[in-house]
Every structure is written in structure tokens, then in C-alpha cells.
Structure 1
Amino acid sequence: MSTVRNTARADAPAETRPAAPGTLATITLVAGREISTRLRSRSFIISTAILMLVVLGSVVVGGLISQNAEAPKVAVVGSAAGVVAGTPGLTAIDAADRDAGERMLRASEVSAVVVSSGAGSDPVGVTVIGLDSAPREVINALSLRPTVEILEPASQDGALIYFVALGFGLVFLMSALTFGQTIALSVVEEKQTRIVEILMSTIPVRTLLAGKVIGNSIMAFGQIVAIGALAVIGMVATGQRVLLGSIGAPIVWFIVFFAIGFVLLAALFAASAALVSRAEDVGAVISPVTMLVMIPYFLVIFFNDNETVLTIMSYVPFSAPVGMPMRVFLGTAQWWEPLLSLAILVATTVIVLGFAARIYSNSLLRTGARVTLTEALKG
């Protein structure tokens, strides 16, 4: 009977194992895996393309509508009729006096009232009267800038406020839900297939969570930046530079607030999903986080001109990414308010990350019945 002899020397040096990667390298590895997975997802590419086309289409349509709008009607009083008559792009309607013209303006029969200013120093010789804002079309149609009076001052046009609010709310809702639900499904899939047991044998659980949150946050941030850049390019290409001047700063603040706010939401999505072991249960367990994403959207749509509601939204961490940019656009926020709101958001995100990491760590290896929030916090 033959035997196999071990020819290795007892005093031979043990095989040197490669050093384990550091925490930063591991987080980078997990984040890179999340990013590459999303980029290979056909559904992600299609949804992103559709969202960007909707944004670009709305900007282009808005520009075409503004260019093809009919000539604004203006009520003219006395000698002002001669100035308006020689101005292309305006339709003059005679008014008996200034009071009659203002009645027509309040009844929305005309866009503005043009009266003789009677001031020798006025280069145009007329005064343009608007209802709640300066009638830009009328002012731009005149060869020189006249004196402007506002009967009932308002910060922005009502239709423009609505569309800006719709844009911020819709982009926030779509991006947060898309990437948040992706994180949740990824966590449950790894837990259901027990891949997480293999991962946790080599990767600390908090490092795994950090990589998932950072990877998806980078993707969400990149999507928001691309949408913002596309909107700016669209406004420049369609000649809407005046609108760009008023909405440029709000877009920048929206990107900054979203970048931090999504980290908070991503941690909550991941922690919530770790409580269950089946993909069928994900919808129920992440529904509270989904509500936190949907509430700001509906608030900004229905209360986009309510200063009280917007002020509260701008200081609540979950709605600040929508509320504060809207107040910056409306010009109702002091210079220090976005900085204070951002500080509150950062502090809240740090606290939530701590709780989310604890829930995630205590629930990830527990299969079967749903883990309650109390059990997850206690460990």
C-alpha cells in the first residue's frame, strides 16, 4: 500500500497573506461596485434619459412660447399713444384717463398702462404702469427704458413660480425615489441570497453601508448636476438669459442641499430595508421614508407662494432641499438663512447616519420574520 509523504519542511516559512485593504479602500471598492451596477442597469439609463428629456423639453417649450406670444396689449393715455404707436410688438388701446387705464389693467384687459410722464428729464417721456410686477415685454419693446410704477408689487410671476416649484419638486422626488429604492432592493437581495454573509466575513458592516450610501449618492448627485447643466444650456440656447439670471443661484443651492439630503435619505432606505428578508416586504418597510420624500413635493406644488409654509420647509431637513431654493428664487431668504439651513441639514444627517448604521448592523444577519425597530436599536 503506497503512502503519500509530505515533503514540505516543518521549518519552512508560512505563506504570506496579502494585507487586508484599509477602510477607505474598502468603501471605495463597494461604492465602485454600486456605481458600475447602476451604470449597467438598462432601467436606470432609460429613466435618466426620460427625466433629462422632460427637463430639456420643458425649457425649450417655455422658450418657444415666450417667443411666439402675441403682442401685449397696453392702455395708452393722451400723448403716450404717439410713443406706443411707433413701437413694434405692442398693441395700443386708447384709455380716457389714467384711472380708466388702471381699471383695464386690474380687469386683465391689458398688460400695462402707458401714460405721459411729464418729466423733461425722462428719456422716453412716458411711464409704464404694471399690476403686480414690471411688465418686461412692454419695457423691452420700448427703445429706451421708461419710468416704471407697480400698483401691487409681487416678487415673481405666478406662472413662473409654479413651474420652478414643479421643477424642483419633481426632480427631487424622482431622483430620491429612484436611487433610494435601488439601495433598498440591493440590501434585501444580498440578504435574501445570503451574499451578505460572505461580504461581512471580509468587510465590516458599517463599511459596507458607507460604500452603498456613497456610491448611490454619487450617482444621484451626478444625475442632478447633469439635469441642472442641461437646463442651463437649454435656457441659453433659447435666449432665456433673463430667466437664467434669476434661477441660476437657486439651482446651485438645490444641488448643494440635495447632495447632503440624499445621504440622509439613502441611509434611511438602507437601514429600513435591512429589517426584512424578502423583496416582497420592501415596499411596506420603506413606506415611511418614501412619505418623507413625497411630502415636500406636494407641499411645494400646493404652497409655492405661501411664505410661512416655505419657511418651515426650508428648515426641516427632509424638505430643505426643495424649500430653501424656492425661497432663494423668490428673494424672501436672507443671505444667512441658506447657510443656517445647510448646517441643520448636515447635523441631522450625521445623527441619522449613526442610528441607521446601528439598525443596519443589528439587522443585516437576521433572517426570517421582520425585525422590529426596537430590536434593531437594542441589538
Structure 2
Amino acid sequence: MLKASNGVWLVAEREIGSKLRSKTFMISSGILLLLTLAGVLFAGFQSANTDATPIAATAETASAVSEIPDVDVTTVTDQAEAEDLVRDGTVDAAVLADEGVAGYTVIALEDAPSFLIQALSLQPDVVILEPMTTNPLLRFIVAIAFGAVFMIAAATFGGTIAQSVVEEKQTRVIEVLLSAIPARTILAGKVLGNTVLAIGQILALAAVATVGLMVTGQREVLNTLGAPIIWFAVFFLFGFILLAAMFAAAASMVSRQEDIGSTTTPITMLIMAPYMLVIFFNDNPLVLTIMSYVPFSAPVGMPMRLFVGEAQWWEPLLSLVILLVTCAAAIIIGAKIYENSLLRMGSRVKLSEALRS
């Protein structure tokens, strides 16, 4: 038999090579990268192209109006000149001084800009005890990004492992492989090969997003996302190894491609859960905290908490230790199931039998 290390790399190279030779995989990966770049560029250009609203103001009101964001102030001498500019469409509205409670009069042709009315209205002082550290829209977008990338990558490459395992059983290629390579070596090679592909895709997406943020001048967002993206990659690495071992073990319990779903559906649900939770509860500190310590959702929950500044410096380290322990346990149990189920053909192998054999 081959040495264990040689066998692992041999299987890993076979997994990587078969995937890279697949036109479907290459095209889908290219589309995913293009969609990521397009989304970042669109968001950046949208935030940069905010046209200023033209507003006329007298000398008495010009200073107050100029403090309003996204306003282009045109100074006029009196009300008559202001009304002329409003009527011919040069400005959207005019702000004049009066002796009323607010101290301003807004002149518009048909409808006054609501943001202008709100900015000039008298408002009470507001004290926020727990202010949000990030923009709510940006927080939501980042939550979708982390959740979607984790779900797509884990489901894609986890499904690849499952199909590969069943295909080898169905065609009896596994019997030939086992004559030269131990079962656990084959499992390690499959996990390693698909992990390399998954991490490669994650790094490519991160590179494309970084380029997009730099091109659109969103360096502040890039600086904020730097550490969370690094932690996401670290957590995803071990989280995917955990899921990959589970996918391989679950697939080894069946002998036909059409039966894969019967054993891998629970794992797929574990992958989808973090995506759904982070979308609906991205502003809920309690849910994010729980997610950041559960091994299956930590790759999404912990980076989100780091992005919004809700995690202490030691929390990612503790969460990573929990993930590593769970990963080790999953590999041990998964290897036992995989080894005991590979050569059992026909009906689905029960979990209790796979563990007891």
C-alpha cells in the first residue's frame, strides 16, 4: 500500500483535478466572482453618486441651510428672486427667514423636499444610551454576504464530496482504491482536496471584493471588514473540514445517487440555518452571541460580531477552540462510519450499524 501521506495527496489531487476540469464548476465560479464584483461596484458607485439638491437661501438662512447634507446652496437677495429661481426650476426650494416659531419659511413650486422640512423643523434633544456602531444597511449587506458565501461554498463542495463517495461505491471503484489505499486515507484526501478548493474560492471572493471596494473608494469599509474577513476564512477552514467529514460519512451509508438526500439533508439544514439566522437576527446581540459559539454557525456569527464591535478579543479564540474540538470529534466519528459503510452495498446502512460494525 501507499504511504498514508502519499495516499492523502494522491486522492486530494484527484479531487482537485476533477473539479478544475469541470466546465460547470469553472463557469459557475466565474459567474459568482463577477456577481460579487458587480455588487460591490454597484453599491460603491451608488453611495458615491449622491446628487446635491439645489436650494436657494438668503444671507440670513444660508448658514443654516449649508449645514444640511447633500444640499447645493444658491444665495439670493430677497423673496422675489428666490421665487423666480423656484418657478424656472433652477432650485427645488427656497428657505427664507421669518418671525415664526421655527424662524424659517420654505418656498416650493408643488411639493417641498421632505428632508429639508425635517432638517429645519424644531426637534427635541435625543440621547441614545446604546448607539449602533455600524450603518444598519451596511450591517444587513455584510450579514447576507457572510451567510451566503458560507452556505454556497459549504453546500457546493460538501455536495461534491457526497456525490464522489456514492459514485465510487456505485461503480465499485472504491474496491480498487481500497486495495491500495486505506479507507481513512481516502477520506482524508477527499476532505483535503475539497477544502483546498473551498478556501481557494473564498480567497478569490475576498480578493474581488477588496478590489471593488478600493476602486469605488470605500477604504473605510475595507478597513472595517479586514479583521472579520480574516477570521471568517479561519473559521470557515475548520468549519468546512467538520462539514466535509460529515458529508462523506453520510454519503457512505447509501449506494445510489438518488439516495444521497436521505442521509445528507440534516447536514444541509445545518448549513442553511446560519444563513437564515444571520439575515433575520443580524441586529440581535443575543442570537449572534449564541451563533458565534455553536460550531456549525460560528463561521458566520463570530465574524459578524467582530464587524459590529460586539465581541471581546478573547471570544474568537474560545470559539475557535470549541470548533476545533468539535471538528476532531466529527473526524473520528465520521471516519468510523465511512470505513464501516464503504463496502456495504444495497439498502441504506443504519447509523447504529455503521457505528457498531
TM-score, L = length of structure 1: 0.78
For 2:228 and 2:211, how far apart are their aligned partners in 1?
Answer: 16
What does residue range 229-244 of structure 1 map to in structure 2 within 5 Å?
229-244=207-222
- Give the equivalent residue in structure 1 for 2:144: 166
Do the aligned residues in 2 keep the contact of 1:130 with 1:150 (CA within 8 Å)?
A: no
- Give the equivalent residue in structure 2 for 1:40: 21
For 1:345 and 1:100, how far apart are their aligned partners in 2?
Answer: 59
- Give the equivalent residue in structure 2 for 1:193: 171
Q: Which amino acid is 1:42 matched to?
A: K
More relative contact order, 1 or 2 (CA 8 Å, 6+ apart):
2
For 2:66 and 2:238, how far apart are their aligned partners in 1?
Answer: 55
What does residue range 144-163 of structure 1 map to in structure 2 within 5 Å?
153-163=131-141
Cα distance, 1:84 vs structure 2: 5.4
Q: Given the alignment, which residue of 31, 52, 56 partners 2:37?
A: 56
Cα distance, 1:285 vs structure 2: 1.4
- Give the equivalent residue in structure 1 for 2:265: 287
Q: Which amino acid is 1:48 matched to?
A: S
Cα distance, 1:96 vs structure 2: 9.1
Change (3 A) 1:110 1:152: farther
Q: Given the alignment, which residue of 203, 208, 223 partners 2:186?
A: 208
Q: Percent identity at matched positions? A: 53
| 1:184 is the counterpart of 2:162 | yes
What does residue range 315-334 of structure 1 map to in structure 2 within 5 Å?
315-334=293-312
Q: Which amino acid is 2:210 matched to?
A: V
Q: Given the alignment, which residue of 201, 208, 226 partners 1:223?
A: 201
Q: Can you list the C-alpha shifts for 1:226-280, whole angstroms capped at 9, x where unaligned?
A: 1011101110011111111111111111111101100000000000000000001
Q: Which amino acid is 1:202 matched to?
A: A
For 2:50 and 2:343, how far apart are their aligned partners in 1?
Answer: 62
For 1:227 and 1:313, how far apart are their aligned partners in 2?
Answer: 23
- Give the equivalent residue in structure 2 for 1:29: 10
- Give the equivalent residue in structure 1 for 2:320: 342
For 1:23 and 1:225, how far apart are their aligned partners in 2?
Answer: 28
For 2:186 and 2:151, how far apart are their aligned partners in 1?
Answer: 26
For 1:91 and 1:280, how far apart are their aligned partners in 2?
Answer: 64
| Structure 2 SS opposite 1:109 | helix
| Structure 2 SS opposite 1:190 | helix
Cα distance, 1:351 vs structure 2: 0.6
After the TM superposition, list the runs of 4 or more consecutive aligned residues in structure 1 that deviate by more than 4 angstroms: 78-81, 86-89, 91-97, 110-114, 149-152
Count of equivalent residues: 321
Cα distance, 1:86 vs structure 2: 8.7
TM-score, L = length of structure 2: 0.83
Q: Given the alignment, which residue of 46, 65, 82 partners 1:65?
A: 46
Unaligned runs of 5+ in 1: 1-19, 102-107, 115-128, 132-148
For 2:256 and 2:67, how far apart are their aligned partners in 1?
Answer: 74
- Give the equivalent residue in structure 1 for 2:227: 249
Do the aligned residues in 2 keep the contact of 1:327 with 1:333 (CA within 8 Å)?
A: yes
Do the aligned residues in 1 keep the contact of 2:161 with 2:190 (CA within 8 Å)?
A: yes
Q: Which amino acid is 2:25 matched to?
A: F
Q: Which amino acid is 1:34 matched to?
A: E
For 1:378 and 1:358, how far apart are their aligned partners in 2?
Answer: 9
Q: Which amino acid is 1:109 matched to?
A: F
Cα distance, 1:109 vs structure 2: 3.3
